[in-house]
Amino acid sequence: MYQIQAHRQEGQTTLLIPAMLDDHFPLLQYAFHSRDYFPVILDQGQGAAELGLRYAHNDMCYPFHLSLGQYLLALGSGAYDLENTALLMPTVGDACRGSNFTSLIRKALVQAGYPQVKVLTLNVKGLEKDQALPIHPDMVWRALFGLFYGDLLLLLTHQTRPWEAVPGAAEACRAQWTARLAEELKTGRGLTLGRMRQVFAQAAADFAKIPLRPGPRRRVALVGELYTKYCALGNWDMVAFLEGEGWEVAVNGFSWYLLYYASNQIAAGGPAQGVWRGLSRWVAGLQQDLCRALADHGFFTLPPFPAFQREAAAWISQDLQVADGWLIGAEAAAWLRAGCSRVLAMQPFGCLPNHVCGRGQYAALVRRVGAGKLVSVDVDASLPRLGVYHRVKLLLEPWEKCACAIK
């Protein structure tokens, strides 16, 4: 397995990747290292959306403006050798507008004066094969560990941080585990499934030792499009805002999305159906190990994906398979049924899959589930943040009259 170096080596191309998965990229980034590429996760958010709007029309969705703006800020910073720099844009390769991002980014780069910078795509659909980042076994294996370790730390931190008796204790524990796991991912040592299961149990045990304040807990679930669910830049620091209001924010793990995507490929049929089916069973087994380890130490998750999908069939049509599709409504229903009677759904303004597969079903979904309150908000480069925060506050108040106090 390739030994990752701390700094870019001679002959390597710097690979710029926009912020997208805040809880996963600190570890998932090591999957993108290779002898040819040295990845850098961008964290420059100030003014990114506005800069992106300068080079793309406002009919494109908010994640595109954010990604393009981050790229342009980085390229204009002077920190990178433009002759040895490339941009990476992951895409699912379906009818979501995200599948068109790469061609529009190339056009914007020419307009902005960076025609020499290559744009690579990362997808499993075989799109733009001549401009795709090569996928190799080391990448897949490291990505698997980065994904599950990211889920682990996300779920543990979100359930501990709002109630910690000593401020900063949860973040300190997460930082210790991130550093420890980063070393394993860099060297490639300890990347075994047995070690992964040990990490699940040991990390959960460490977080369970953190002293918590007594009293009831208030929990609000966050669902929606990937960028607005997992990225503070995309959701306007909504997790920090909600925690500042005294709420725990329940966010589902990314492995549920991976298995959702795999289930859609299985449903579509084709020559790769058997590969997706085998991958799905294997990943679902690891996810079940994660859920079991968390439950053993007093933490919770939504049901593992096979049970989650079976239960979702009673509430949501699983024919909605574009972008985040039926997963959005399924997560909302699952959180409501789990006793989380406040659900915040965030989506980019003008995102068709989110509005059809999500917002278009919310009212009927709440009526059918029979409990809880769900509010949907849009985010966009041209929308005022204050109005969004006020709408979210309406969702939260008055909490004393709802059934979401968790002992």
* Domain chopping of the chain, boundaries: 42-134, 215-252+302-406
Looking at the DSSP bridge assignments, the partners of residue 41 are: 17
Question: What does the alpha-carbon distance between residue 227 and residue 231 come to, in Å, rounded to a whole number?
Answer: 5
Length of the chain (residues) = 407
Cα–Cα nearest to 287, from 273, 261, 267, 307: 307
Structure tokens that stand for 367 in this block: 């009526």
pLDDT tens series, the chain, 407 aa:
777 888 899 999 999 999 999 999 999 999 999 999 999 999 877 889 999 999 988 778 889 999 999 999 999 999 999 999 999 998 876 667 666 788 899 999 999 999 999 999 987 766 677 788 988 999 999 999 999 999 999 999 999 999 999 999 999 999 999 999 999 999 998 899 999 999 999 999 999 999 999 988 899 999 998 999 999 999 999 999 999 999 999 999 999 999 999 998 888 877 778 888 999 999 999 999 999 999 999 999 999 999 999 998 888 888 877 778 889 989 999 999 898 889 999 998 877 777 777 777 777 787 887 778 899 999 988 888 888 999 999 899 864 544 444 43
CB of 133 within 8 A of CB of 102? no
Could you give the dihedral angle defined by the CA atoms of residues 179, 185, 191 and 195, in that order, rounded to the nearest 10 degrees?
10
Question: What does the alpha-carbon distance between residue 394 and residue 51 come to, in Å, rounded to a whole number?
Answer: 32
Q: Is 386 exposed, middle or buried (0-12, 13-18, 19+ CB in 10 A)?
A: exposed
CB of 184 within 8 A of CB of 286? no
Structure tokens that stand for 52 in this block: 């992106």
Place of tokens 């910078």: 117
| Domain 215-252+302-406: which CATH number of 3.40.50, 1.10.287, 1.20.1440, 3.20.170 | 3.40.50
CB of 388 within 8 A of CB of 379? yes
Query: How many C-beta atoms lie closer than 10 Å to residue 287's C-beta?
Result: 24
